Chain A
Amino acid sequence: MPKLTIDGHEVEVAAGTNLIEAARAAGVAIPYFCYHPYLKVVGQCRICMVEIAGQPRLALGCATPAADGMVVKVEDSERAREAREAVMEFLLANHPLDCPVCDQAGECLLQDHSMSEQGAKFTTHMAETRRTFPGYERRLIGPHVMQNQNRCIHCSRCIRFTREISETAALTYKSRGNSTFIDTFDGSSFDDPMSGCATDVCPVGALTLRETRFRKRAWKLRSTPSVCPGCSIGCNIFIDHHERVVYRFTPRENPAINATWLCDYGRFLAESLNEQAYLAPQRQDHGHPAPAAWGEALAAVAALLRGAASLRVVASANMSNEELFLARELFGRHLKGEIAVPVAAGEPRRMKNGKGEWLLAKDAHPNAAGARRLGLDTVDGEGLSRFLYGGAGLTLILDPEAHPFLASPEALRLLRVGTTVVWARRSHPVADGATWLLPTPSLASDEGTFTSSTGAVQRFAEAFAAPGTVHRTATGGMSPDCPTIALPWGAPGEARPLWLVLSALARELGIETLDLASPAEVFTLMARSEKGFAGLSWEALGGLAPQESFRERQHVG
């Protein structure tokens, strides 16, 4: 373990750590643009110059491993500071400096560095006409990625990403010298399944996401740590939101699962979190749905549960461990109902972890592993149809999106027998015919844990409170095929997370042990009684600082 001094701070780091990371540990910031902790070090941007005592030449912070006894000067070295300023001047000589109209502003490494190190007192000796790339300033290079080559600082992070991580080698440099630009290798569409990551790694606004650009200024967004609901791999994400609208998912670092990556499929689920078709509980009134208050709804559903001759429950692998546990205890153990958890085999998805290994997804849900761990019956489509075929007095569907089979005419026919209570967020045929419909909010307004296919129990936090989750969505007017654009400040609705409704039902039914005040309490109970969760504690799960700022996140983006 080499011990070194950086700007007067002593620090001990693991062997092989480079000076940028060592300095970070010592609380000193060495600026960087081309360095990325999960990509090969290339030493191209030259902004990370530091002085090492006893060495005549300046050294690169990214390419120099920490060595025992090294004395490194970052801010304390006039020579290194001068060199970094010169590199900044080179980089900005041809940069358009169009921050006011650039969507990266606020989360741009170039801008951050210019503000922090140079105190925004930037001067240039440049009197020439700037280099531009006519025709490449606003170019869609793939289904999701918009290029503005004028802003590119030639750090090659995007290229290295497609070579080393997504392995499509789609992006490359073309031309030479000052005319060098980024393009797809053969000029075809950049349809990499992880293409969004190229915009994450791009330190400037040269690559931005067509879906999210110009929708919200980066500094307005709040980031809530969460877990991607797209498949069983369980990539760690931030839900970036503002005024109760979800704008995007961005990767949250987790070396064991997704390093700093996300696949496009998962990334673009963000927009779907804004859909909220049902705003209040609903009952059937002579064949027409009529709104009802929660009190009335809970009492009515509790009465149905008490009076049901037989009970069956379709749970879902989209539910958190806490919700699955509550459902199992309440409907299974106390009310002696039958529970099935449908699991749909999704499209195969894969994700590369920090060690460069691919993780493969088998299920299309974030928590199939959690359901199995809780000993619940997981069924496929056929199993689900058999389960529904059995008939029952009362059927609860905790999530109509648990399986595509639930939307089929056959399922609707099977559900016509008896009474059904459905918890739903998005409009669904099963929900429309339900005796009672209870609105649930999206992942952004829920809290709990998912168990990933690798077995990791991971917490997700609530981005905004359930009472305010509701907003209508409208088709964006920006381009014909732009996804929906949510209108903020829709009338607050009354969707409540499932765990809350289940514990309220328990209270209604007089089952005090399950009348719990928070997912944390549910988790604690579960950890106490379940082998699969034994020894885990809510607080210790996955470093979830509630609101991490952008700047903190930038060190991997």
Chain B
Amino acid sequence: MEPVLLRARGAADSRAITTYLGAGGYEGWKKALAMGPDAVTKEVSDSELRGRGGAGFPTGRKWSFVPKDHPGPRYLVCNADESEPGTFKDREIIEYDPHQVIEGVAIASFAIKANTAYIYIRGEFVRWAKILEEAIVEARQRGFLGKNVLGSGFDLDIWVHRGAGAYICGEETALLESIEGKRGFPRLKPPFPALVGLFGKPTVINNVETLACVPHIITRGAAWFAGIGRPKNTGPKLFGVSGHVNRPGVYELPLGVTFREIIEEHAGGVRGGRKLKAFFPGGSSAPVLTAAEVDVKADFDACAEAKTMLGSGGIIVFDDTVDMVEVADNVAHFYAHESCGQCTPCREGSDWCMDILDRLMAGHGLPADPDTLLRICRFASGGMTICPLGDAFSLPISSIVTKFRDEFERRIAAATPLPPRKLPVLPWAGPKAGFGI
């Protein structure tokens, strides 16, 4: 497949607006302004573009949820928080072709009639925040943004908002809270952001990659986009491959290629001639797939059929030297650290899983541990929590326990009892002044 989103990768001066314009950049924006919002939304719907942020929700449908006659402002938010372990595709787009994102944000804003858009970028992405800001300045100087864009009467401002280092702020409603200057707590839904979003106004949140697809859909047409991949799973997709492969990196491939093709052909196969043991198909919050499942197609529906998800498309590959208990422990550490602490099952469950897995790793496993893990995961997912972070730690951990239970059992069989807990003896200096005991 000819590269679409990564076509500028490696070109000299690929970030400059002149390069972008030379490749037909901002033609989509001009065309969209001429088409009108409804036609733009229809074109995106027809392309069957699905969100690249994780859930794979049809983008055109999401836009159409914004009430047409809502008085007052509405907002578009581009989610560049990219914090999912094993995910580094949005960064690649911004690095080589930031104007693609700006143009996508502009078209999407126009489609939902938002005059203000925010790009929420993870705090650690200092360099990429700067790149975006420079690109916005360039676009503004050429009249693609600002008041009365290209004489169309449409105003648009784009602001880059940097996060402060919380994974949870990638969750769309926590992200909105964060932009509002509040603690990044996911909101209870409904109401959904399309009705009550940023500052209480209708808001659409889309991932960087999703929005980067939009200019191409407008310039080249929905039919062209829908022709890539397979029905309902259309278009090019960036796969970030990491772990035990020979050539880790970001690969742009049509949806529907098999994971085998991605890992063996594009990423050069498992490193050091070892064998593939397992992989996360879409970031660490997707249930793990084993080597036997490597022929699953890398798209939304095929992954769902295989009881996992395409997620962000970040593929993390494990060779046969990997201890899956350790993988589970690593996952648990990440999510326990990133749980916002709002709702009971995720706050208590993520930490509990981590403690059990830590104990297993320390060689003190108990026979009940695998079942306890499964029970915790069962009740921290599937709608038991406010946001999907509960699922994000539960599903991978329970999939590892289920698929690699023998590794847990082996550890438990070899376990030594937990050394007796030493309780610290605290010195008692009598009641402190001012304390009513």
**When chains A and B are docked, how far (Å) is the Cα of A153 from the Cα of B385?**
15
Contact with B along A37-79 (1 / 0, CB 8 A): 0000111111101000000011000010000000000000000
Residue picked from A41, A83, A211, most chain B C-beta under 10 Å:
A83
* Chain B hits for A541, CB < 8 A: none
Across the interface, A87 reaches (CB within 8 A) one of B188, B344, B431, namely B344
Q: Is the CB of A180 within 8 A of B434?
A: no
Q: Which residues of B contact A126 (CB under 8 A)?
A: 352
CB-CB under 8 A from A211, the residues of chain B are 436
Contacting A at CB under 8 A, from B134-174, are 166
Name the distance in Å between A378's Cβ and chain B's nearest Cβ. 40
Segment with Cβ contacts to B, from A88-96, A356-364, A431-439:
A88-96
- Please, what's the 1-or-0 string for A72-112, where 1 marks a CB less than 8 Å from any CB in chain B? 00000000000100110011011000000000000000000
Main secondary structure of the interface of B (DSSP, over half): loop
Within the complex, which residue of B341, B375, B384 is in contact with A46, where a contact is CB–CB below 8 Å?
A: B384
B356 touches A128 (CB 8 A): yes
13 contacts between A and B (CB under 8 A): A49-B384, A63-B188, A83-B384, A94-B348, A127-B356, A127-B372, A128-B359, A140-B434, A146-B435, A146-B436, A154-B342, A176-B340, A177-B339
Known A57-B383, A178-B350; judge A90-B344 contact (CB<8 A): yes
Out of A131, A138, A481, name the residue touching B351 (CB < 8 Å): A131
Which residues of A have CB within 8 Å of B338? 176-177
Task: Decide if A90 touches B348 in the complex (CB within 8 Å).
Answer: yes
Within 8 A of A (CB), among B339-373: 339-345, 347-352, 355-356, 359, 366, 368, 372
Task: Check: B20 CB closer than 8 A to any chain A CB.
Answer: no
Who on chain A is nearest to B434 by CB? A140
- Let me know if B429 is at the binding interface, CB within 8 A: no
Do B344 and A480 touch (CB < 8 A)?
Answer: no
Q: A45-B344, A177-B340 are in contact. Are A140 and B435 (CB under 8 A)?
A: yes
B379 touches A90 (CB 8 A): yes
Tell me the bound Cα distance from A263 to B417 in angstroms.
54
> Are A479 and B434 neighbours in the complex by a CB distance under 8 Å?
yes
CA–CA, A211 and B437, complex, Å: 11
Asked if A286 is at the interface (CB within 8 A of a chain B CB), the reply is no
Interface size (A, Cβ < 8 Å)? 47
Q: Could you tell me the distance between the alpha carbons of A63 and B366 in the complex, rounded to whole angstroms?
A: 39
Contact across chains for B340 and A43 when beta carbons are under 8 A apart: no
Q: Is A478 an interface residue (CB 8 A)?
A: yes
Does B183 count as interface, using CB distance less than 8 angstroms?
yes
**A128-B359, A178-B336 in contact; A482/B343 too (CB < 8 A)?**
no
Question: Contact residue range for chain B?
Answer: 35 or more
A173 touches B183 (CB 8 A): yes
Is B383 touching A479 in the complex (CB atoms < 8 A)?
Answer: no
For residue A479, which residues in chain B have a CB less than 8 angstroms away from its CB? 431, 433-437
**B410 part of interface (Cβ distance < 8 Å):** no
Q: Tell me whether A553 is interfacial, beta carbon within 8 Å.
A: no
**Smallest CB separation, B251 vs chain A (Å):** 34
A177 to B350, CA, bound (A): 8
Q: Does B337 contact A (CB under 8 A)?
A: yes
A179 to B379, CA, bound (A): 20
Q: CB of B68 within 8 A of chain A?
A: no
Across the interface, which residues of A come within 8 angstroms of B375, CB to CB? 86, 125
Residues of A within 8 A of B341 (CB): 154, 173, 175-180
Judge if B382 is at the interface, Cβ distance under 8 Å: yes
Give A contacts to B, CB under 8 Å. Answer: 41-47, 49, 57-58, 63, 83, 86-87, 90-91, 93-94, 125-129, 131, 138, 140, 146, 153-154, 156, 172-173, 175-180, 210-211, 213-214, 478-482
A545 to chain B, nearest CB (A): 32
- Give the chain A neighbours of B183 by CB distance below 8 A: 172-173
Shortest beta-carbon distance, A344 to chain B, in Å? 32
B356: nearest residue on chain A (CB-CB)? A128
Chain A residues, Cβ within 8 Å of B70: none
Contact pattern, B 171-209, Cβ under 8 Å of A = 1, otherwise 0 = 000000000000100001000000000000000000000
Most-contacted residue by chain A among B341, B355, B379, B383 (CB, 10 A)? B341
A156 surroundings in chain B (CB, below 8 A): 342
Q: Report how far A127 CA is from B188 CA in the complex, Å.
A: 32
In the complex, which of the residues B347, B359, B378, B436 contacts A178, with contact meaning CB atoms closer than 8 Å?
Answer: B347
With CB as the reference atom, state the residue of chain A lying closest to B368.
A125
User: How many angstroms from the CA of A128 to the CA of B366 in the assembled complex?
Assistant: 11
Whether A210 contacts B345 by the Cβ 8 Å rule is no
Tell whether, in the assembled complex, residue A177 and residue B436 are in contact, meaning their CB atoms are under 8 Å apart. no
- Closest Cβ of chain B to A44, distance in Å, is 5
Closest to B352 in A: A93
| Distance in angstroms between the alpha carbons of A46 and B382 in the assembled complex | 13
- Chain A residues with Cβ below 8 Å from B188 are 41-43, 63
Q: Does B6 count as interface, using CB distance less than 8 angstroms?
A: no
Chain B, Cβ-Cβ closest to A482: B436
Q: Write out the residue numbers on chain B whose beta carbons fall within 8 Å of the beta carbon of A140.
A: 434-436
The answer on a CB contact under 8 Å between A213 and B436 is yes
**With contact pairs A57-B383, A154-B341 given, residues A93 and B372 touching in the complex (Cβ less than 8 Å):** no
CB of A295 to closest CB in B, whole Å: 45
Bound-state CA distance A228–B183 (Å) is 37
Give A40's nearest chain B residue, CB to CB. B188
Task: Using CB atoms, name the residue of chain A closest to B358.
Answer: A128
A46 and B344 form a contact (CB under 8 A): yes
Q: Judging by beta carbons under 8 Å apart, are B434 and A128 in contact?
A: no
- Given the known interface contacts A128-B355, A140-B435, the answer about A83 and B344 at a Cβ–Cβ threshold of 8 Å is no
Give every chain A residue within 8 A of B437 (Cβ-Cβ).
214, 478-479
Sorted from nearest, which 10 A-B pairs have the closest CB atoms? A180-B341, A86-B379, A178-B351, A57-B383, A90-B348, A177-B339, A128-B355, A43-B188, A125-B372, A210-B436
